[in-house]
Structure 1
């Protein structure tokens, strides 16, 4: 059994606790909190009191570097919630403190979600040739950047960012807390940015306030390649001379109509090929829960020396560095170009 402790007791920590209950071989043994209180897991006052194989840091942006540094100082591997530090200066300080330890991973789970994992599998299989551009309109900043970089296979080189924002009225029927009951449009900002990674690789970032929860805005993903294009759940590609084929990505979801197997994700296929198979059948988990479970299992395997690092600090730091450049470009109305940082050299 591989064990972990969370630092923090907010909603992200709670998700880690709950999902660990459904995993075989991974167990949460407690939470480190500043104020003692009743929790679903044992509560501790400090990391010094806990015996665990790794730490999940689920605290504020400002507090994250301190937790990470303390854990590494104790020789404990860390899975740090996103982002690992608040700003570029803090990212650099954190890398100086712990980057060479090899003990820090970042909890970036978006490309582990079933639909995105299937899309990435299709791109990596070369079905659209060499990818050159990714457009994401679904989630914000570092998560979107992680998706763009991951699907492109972009590294840590300079990125030229140009961003602009507009504000327009939009009804906001849903938030994280549920239905708002408010049908009156309110001002909502849309931030759009182009990311130029060089060597013909580019990204388009498009996010509207609360787009995670607001069902009045579609989620869109486009990957352009040398031999075709992936758009959401469909691929168009050249399969032979004078032969252009359009094929849907099809999710098999049990529990509909007379399917008595219970509501669950089974597979995502492209024609006769399985691009994704749910590793947790019978858990009835959402895509987010499946992604976090996959991340926890991968982290545990890495800690045991049985698997690769799931998402090293260098990747999470690069995602946030570019996200910060998006915000800076929108605020200053100029192109911002990131430099090659110590984690990318």
Structure 2
């Protein structure tokens, strides 16, 4: 049965959802898209076969989607989310769900009420194939209890989300320190494509430490990493019995018996393989630590992650496991805001419990129980 959804917004991120639906029409259907521009609406219909609408009235009158994806700027998103919730429509909103802490709290108070439609947030990183595999290894018992995580592959709340997931952190109290370092870097490609000339840009790298009692998260990221050919991503997770460093895993089977393994991507379409072009999954030795649920669709890792969110929404709406809840998103963005403030001021900051903290802790416990 196909998952149906509408979209509010026509920016760069909206096209990810459109591409996924076009690649797997048997699984996903876009019922329409809201955009203020008539020219953009015409272009969307020409390129994707999706009808554009000027407002929510038009979108919802054209059909009843399972939910609506909100893909608009963070200062606009809360108003759209509230309007959809007031109309009884479940929401999957892009990150972050609101801008400031006050905005987060205000949104939470408006939509977190008994009987209100489900609001989930489109945080895809922990659902991407490699990170999914790495996090599965981190919580497989091989490393013991994860106590340290270094994340250098995504910005702000995305990086914080990976840190919390890697360490098994809920809404635990955090002590936050941060600093900024700027350095020259040869510009790489961007959203518009490959560079056409050599150009030096200034890379702004934020490094932060999140101390959660006896667990430590380190954030280290510059926005240029997203497209740079010469600034790679890194993930390090350590426990008392082992560690995972990018694709290398080292652990102790016994105190005197070390084991070494590597994560291996299993791709089709390489060499003489004629199966198509898709990711089959990721192996650690002979164990599948990630299996692609959407093969043989020809989609990239980020699109696999986003498709997993879309696919999980009906279950979240039914009250089963959340995709990535408004509570989690609010906590991650709150910690990211503390990090930004610590970097600007040089002060050590401490988190306080926010209105969503109990739900974050409950969801962490539920994930631990379900494995």
Give the TM-score of the pair, scaled to structure 1.
0.95
Is 1:230 aligned with 2:256?
no
CA contact (8 A) 1:99 1:343 kept: no
Structure 1 residues 90-99 or 255-264, which shifts more?
Answer: 255-264
In structure 1, how many angstroms separate the alpha carbons of the residues matched to 2:168 and 2:26?
32
Structure 1 residues 241-250 or 179-188, which shifts more?
Answer: 179-188
SS in 2 for 1:210: helix
Report deviation, 1:13: 1.3
Aligned to 1:87: 100
Residue deviations 1:234-281, cap 9 Å, x none? Answer: 110000231111111111111111222222211211111111111111
Out of 279, 301, 319, which is 2:332 matched to? Answer: 319
In structure 1, how many angstroms separate the alpha carbons of the residues matched to 2:108 and 2:224?
31
In structure 2, how many angstroms separate the alpha carbons of the residues matched to 1:111 and 1:251?
17
Cα 1:251–1:245 shift into 2, 3 Å: same
Aligned to 1:146: 161
SS in 2 for 1:247: strand
In structure 1, how many angstroms separate the alpha carbons of the residues matched to 2:250 and 2:235?
14
The RMSD of aligned alpha carbons is 1.5
Residue deviations 1:186-213, cap 9 Å, x none? Answer: 3221110001122x12210001232111
Aligned to 1:66: 79
Aligned to 2:276: 262
CA contact (8 A) 1:136 1:204 kept: yes
Aligned to 2:8: 7
Is 1:26 aligned with 2:28?
yes
CA contact (8 A) 1:23 1:293 kept: no
- How many residues matched? 343
Is 1:245 aligned with 2:247?
no
Report deviation, 1:306: 7.6
Report deviation, 1:161: 0.9
Aligned residue runs from structure 1 range 1-345, under 5 A? 1-21=2-22, 22-36=24-38, 37-38=41-42, 39-40=44-45, 41-49=50-58, 50=60, 51-100=64-113, 101=116, 103-198=118-213, 200-303=214-317, 305=318, 307-345=320-358
CA contact (8 A) 1:56 1:79 kept: yes
Report deviation, 1:328: 0.5
Residue deviations 1:112-164, cap 9 Å, x none? Answer: 11111111111221111111111111111111111111111111132211000
Runs in 1 of length 4+ with deviation above 4 angstroms? none
SS in 1 for 2:6: strand
Stretches of structure 2 lacking an aligned partner (at least 5 in a row): 359-371
CA contact (8 A) 1:298 1:307 kept: no
Give the TM-score of the pair, scaled to structure 2.
0.89
Residue deviations 1:318-341, cap 9 Å, x none? Answer: 111111111101100111212100
Report deviation, 1:282: 1.5
CA contact (8 A) 1:26 1:300 kept: no
Report deviation, 1:26: 2.9
Report deviation, 1:48: 2.7
CA contact (8 A) 2:265 2:281 kept: yes
